[in-house]
Chains A and B, each alone.
Chain A
């Protein structure tokens, strides 16, 4: 369970997050939407401390992770992150991209990690790309490798930061398919996205973030059918 209490993030005078309280339950798929600059990516990045919260608490499985003395590296091993721009390691093959962390962090032997990598690559439909470099595959394939890389650490939570925003339209589907299957397998996911179809179909709950606060949240059906907040209505009228 991820609990967020009174989360604020300021960049100098800019208040990006203005107090967010939220609980994400195990097995839940939470989709975060909102206009650009609303703070939704910052919210997501705070959950794995890629941004240090200015105020408030991020509590994962009962442990406050933004407290002094916490081994954040240990915490992060349990939280997979997928980035908008994939951030694959260009100097390593697809296989090495996936096995690097499990082997370096002594989670697996090289043989185990290799078997895991092939298993994951098969799942995302890229078993034949194990030994090529990231520069040799398409954007959609890169993002699927990035998902496999995060899954190799066998995390309990997966965070997605606009995973399809940098993709050509015809490649969006293949990435969303992988995410859909992951959601069906029971993974706890927080997904920042502009894909309303995905939000509606796969999300258990939608958070609408604007001006650094959660303006509205609901289950997808009710959220899209009957938005309560004026800002939500205006946002949805623009994106739907």
Chain B
């Protein structure tokens, strides 16, 4: 038992402490959070615009939504990431994390648009009629009355999409960015240890997402204060 424990602590020291390897993981954590956050914000903006396109009476705007979601859903996100980094932004000298955020934002936008679209459609048409009958225009009715109610309905799904997004970013190593996954991978190569770095990677993701879930639940509870259930 003591020997086993000694082995564990030794490997732990080797993988995370020696040569300041934990710093690599911290850098990775920072990158993962930064990319996920920026991509989530961009994804919500794109998703919202696409949802408005898809609900519009304009055939051209409907088409934009359809083609966009078709392409994003029909190709792997790692392919999209590489196309955006090596083709679209090949000649642009922006920081890698920003380009990765754009790629994931574009990807997430397609999924968010479906969520937002469903959320807007879930609001009773009587709400729109009430708003319009008071003299509010279509935009005011949408933003003052429909969207706040839709947001409350879609908040859990949006949170879920954000969690998915965080895990999706584990492929940014493909364009040479060090996120949590890549940091764990580096440690694995440097130490010839597989168990400790990979389990460590998994635990970091798990804790990150657990904290996020906790925050999302808190936020949802405060959104629900107008409901008596």
Contacts and interface: CB of A to CB of B under 8 A. Distances in A.
Given A50-B133, A101-B135, A153-B134, 11 more contacts: A73-B137, A80-B133, A87-B124, A89-B130, A89-B131, A90-B227, A91-B148, A100-B136, A133-B228, A135-B226, A135-B227
B57 to A, nearest CB: 13
Closest 9 CB pairs of A and B: A77-B135, A87-B130, A81-B133, A101-B134, A87-B126, A133-B226, A76-B135, A135-B228, A91-B148
Contacts of B135: 73-74, 76-77, 101, 105, 153
A85 interface: yes
A87 B227 contact: no
Given A133-B228, A136-B228, A50 B144 contact: no
Nearest to B129: A50
Interface of B: 124, 126-127, 129-137, 140, 144-145, 148-149, 152, 226-228
A83 interface: yes
A150 B228 contact: no
A89 B140 CA distance: 14
B134 A50 contact: no
Interface of A: 48, 50, 73-74, 76-77, 79-81, 83, 85, 87-93, 100-101, 104-105, 133, 135-136, 146, 149-150, 153
Majority secondary structure, B binding face: helix
A41 to B, nearest CB: 12
Contacts of B129: 50, 81, 83, 87
A20 B127 CA distance: 28
A83 B148 CA distance: 21
Nearest to A90: B226
Contacts of B137: 73
24 contacts: A73-B132, A73-B136, A80-B133, A81-B130, A83-B126, A87-B124, A87-B127, A89-B145, A89-B149, A90-B149, A90-B226, A91-B148, A93-B226, A100-B136, A100-B144, A104-B144, A105-B134, A105-B136, A133-B226, A133-B227, A135-B227, A146-B130, A149-B134, A150-B134
A73 B140 CA distance: 11
B134 A76 contact: yes
B119 to A, nearest CB: 13
Contacts of B124: 87
A92 B126 CA distance: 15
B151 to A, nearest CB: 9
